[in-house]
């Protein structure tokens, strides 16, 4: 299997985050990628390749998923934060936009006031929904590199590496599936899997792309981006009632033209064993098969379903993961794996 990565992805390294009201070391550490890469190299069956730099239109690929003001925010906010006296370690929001904090005379955020522009550091709470996305001086370029990794892997898939028994792996970081059109959260800034799916649709002439999200947490960002879009089937297995808490219910099926193309499989914490998980995954892949015009599969690959993960309440053992791989391979669809949590 070909594996794409970029050392620039390691540069995003905030000193801390706020979790359960505590200031703690940043969980989404660069060591995750280092250890995964080392394990793949030691395995000997993976071809580790650097992501190519020939992406002059990378902003356009990002804008196919994210809004222009959000892209501008991520690009400029650190310098503006420091310029107004913010701590140089990272940008942290002090307030978050809420429906009850709107100007009653004009609720459109883009025209609400002359201060509500994307780049204004005072309005950093417009573009994030939690405290796990501190933005350092290196965050933007690391997030761009992460997108580049996903796009290089997608391009390789289009270039002929379509063997359903192998697939292509994008060892991307920061992860992406919590990033919405104009919101970061859950360690995610740009939605790599969504950008790759859009690329496969636009550049590969695909009729439809399926995204199978097997991260422990629901991919609220991917769901939001494609909720009204019938060109992408989104299927997620995740912990019921866990982060991000407000999304991922089984009755969220999509809306408008996208009705019937969103499928959630929330699983109970504390009792999801290998068998329970694989049974649910089999049902999820059966749903995927029912959409028989899917040309490519993007797997949002989260390894945080393992029982030893510090923020996981599933009971999955290491023996479960070859079973998961076998079930996914049984779909016989050219597959791009994108690293998540």
Taking a C-beta distance cutoff of 8 angstroms, is the pair 51, 149 a contact?
yes
Phi, psi of 18 (to 5 degrees): -110, 120
Contact between residue 264 and residue 236 where contact means Cβ atoms under 8 Å apart = yes
Distance CA 137, CA 341 (A): 22
Structure token pair of residue 76:
């400029």
Backbone angles phi, psi at 312, to 5 degrees: -115, 140
Q: How far apart are CA 335 and CA 157, in angstroms?
A: 8
Alpha-carbon gap, residue 267 to 237, rounded angstroms: 7
Number of CB atoms found within 10 A of residue 269's CB: 15
Cβ atoms of 263 and 294 within 8 Å: the answer is no
Q: What positions carry a catalytic annotation?
A: 178
Cα–Cα distance between 90 and 93 in angstroms, integer?
Answer: 10
Three-class secondary structure of residue 317 per DSSP: coil
Q: In whole angstroms, what separates CA 75 from the centre of its chain?
A: 18
Q: What residues form DSSP beta bridges with 296?
A: 209
Instruction: Extract the tokens encoding 163.
Output: 């063997």
How do 17-19 and 22-24 pair as beta strands? antiparallel
Nearest partner of 250 among 266, 236, 238, judged by Cα: 266
- The C-alpha angle 197, 170, 259, rounded to 5 degrees, equals 25
């Amino acid at each position: 299997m070909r594996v794409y990565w970029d050392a620039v992805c390691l540069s995003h390294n905030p000193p801390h985050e706020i979790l359960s009201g505590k200031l703690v070391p940043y969980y989404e550490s660069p060591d995750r990628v280092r250890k995964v890469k080392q394990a793949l190299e030691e395995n000997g069956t993976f071809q580790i390749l650097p992501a190519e730099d020939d992406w002059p239109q990378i902003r356009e690929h990002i804008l196919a998923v994210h809004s222009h003001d959000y892209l501008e925010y991520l690009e400029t906010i650190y310098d503006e934060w420091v310029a107004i006296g913010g701590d140089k370690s990272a940008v942290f929001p002090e307030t978050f936009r809420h429906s009850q904090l709107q100007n009653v005379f004009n609720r459109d955020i883009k025209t609400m006031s002359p201060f509500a522009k994307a780049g204004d550091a005072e309005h950093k709470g417009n573009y994030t929904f939690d405290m796990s996305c501190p933005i350092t001086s290196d965050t933007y370029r690391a997030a761009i590199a992460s997108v580049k990794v996903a796009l290089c892997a997608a391009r390789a898939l289009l270039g002929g590496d379509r063997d359903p028994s192998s697939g292509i792996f994008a060892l991307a970081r920061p992860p992406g599936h919590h990033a919405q059109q104009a919101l970061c959260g859950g360690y995610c800034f740009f939605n790599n899997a969504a950008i790759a799916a859009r690329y496969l649709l636009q550049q590969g002439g695909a009729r439809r792309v399926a995204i199978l999200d097997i991260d422990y947490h629901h991919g609220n960002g991917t769901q939001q981006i494609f909720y009204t879009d019938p060109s992408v089937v989104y299927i997620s297995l995740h912990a019921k009632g866990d982060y991000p808490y407000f999304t991922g219910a089984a009755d969220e099926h999509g809306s408008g033209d996208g009705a019937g193309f969103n499928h959630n499989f929330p699983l109970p914490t504390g009792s999801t064993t290998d068998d329970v998980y694989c049974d649910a995954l089999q049902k999820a892949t059966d749903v995927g098969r029912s959409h028989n015009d899917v040309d490519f599969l993007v797997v949002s690959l989260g390894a945080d379903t393992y029982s030893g993960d510090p923020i996981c309440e599933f009971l999955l053992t290491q023996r479960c993961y070859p079973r998961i791989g076998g079930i996914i391979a049984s779909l016989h669809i050219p597959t791009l794996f994108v690293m998540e949590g």
